């Protein structure tokens, strides 16, 4: 994902996207997907923030997103709570929050399956070809790539 888009998300949700040991850039959080998922990641971050705001503030404070990546053509959002706070959290509240967050991140995964990872457009179901390439592209982006490939071969 473009540097400026990544920074936009990090600046809006600094609490969620802190540097960590995952990914290839430990100085800041690194999004391992293409630009087309920007809106979906933004919306998902908002949903997570709104969900956490319903609970005691310790949950929001100890929450972070560990990794955001495309895996098997789907956006995956991995997250967790600080180990130190996990012990003091109430079990019932924790399991409520966990199922809430699982729902939100699973929904993002499902939605990503019909988005072009390059431009973010919705791909009509009949154009989704899971056999072709590792990145899910709309017909326009696929054609553009094909044209560029051909012109570089000439």
Interface with Zn ion (CB under 5 A): 116, 118-119, 138, 141
C-alpha 30/C-alpha 62 separation (Å) is: 20
At 16, is the secondary structure helix, strand, or coil? coil
Residue 58 or 119: which CB sits closer to Zn ion?
119
Cβ 136 to Zn ion, closest distance in Å?
9
Cβ 50 to Zn ion, closest distance in Å?
29
Between helix 38-53 and helix 3-12 the angle, nearest 10°, is 10
Residue 65 or 116: which CB sits closer to Zn ion?
116
Residue 43 or 121: which CB sits closer to Zn ion?
121
Cβ 89 to Zn ion, closest distance in Å?
41
Cβ 2 to Zn ion, closest distance in Å?
15
Residue 94 or 114: which CB sits closer to Zn ion?
114
């Amino acid at each position: 994902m473009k540097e400026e888009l990544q920074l936009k998300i990090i600046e809006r949700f600094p609490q969620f996207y802190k540097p960590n040991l995952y990914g290839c850039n430990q100085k800041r959080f690194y999004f391992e997907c293409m630009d087309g998922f920007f809106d979906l990641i933004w919306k998902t971050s908002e949903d997570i923030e709104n969900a956490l705001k319903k609970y005691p503030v310790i949950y929001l404070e100890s929450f972070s997103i560990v990794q955001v990546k495309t895996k098997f053509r789907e956006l995956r959002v991995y997250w967790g709570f600080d180990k130190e706070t996990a012990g003091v959290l109430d079990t019932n509240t924790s399991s409520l929050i966990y199922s809430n967050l699982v729902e939100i991140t699973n929904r993002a995964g499902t939605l990503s399956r019909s988005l072009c990872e390059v431009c973010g457009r919705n791909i009509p179901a009949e154009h989704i070809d899971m056999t072709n390439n590792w990145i899910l592209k709309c017909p326009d982006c696929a054609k553009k790539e094909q044209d560029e490939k051909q012109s570089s071969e000439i």
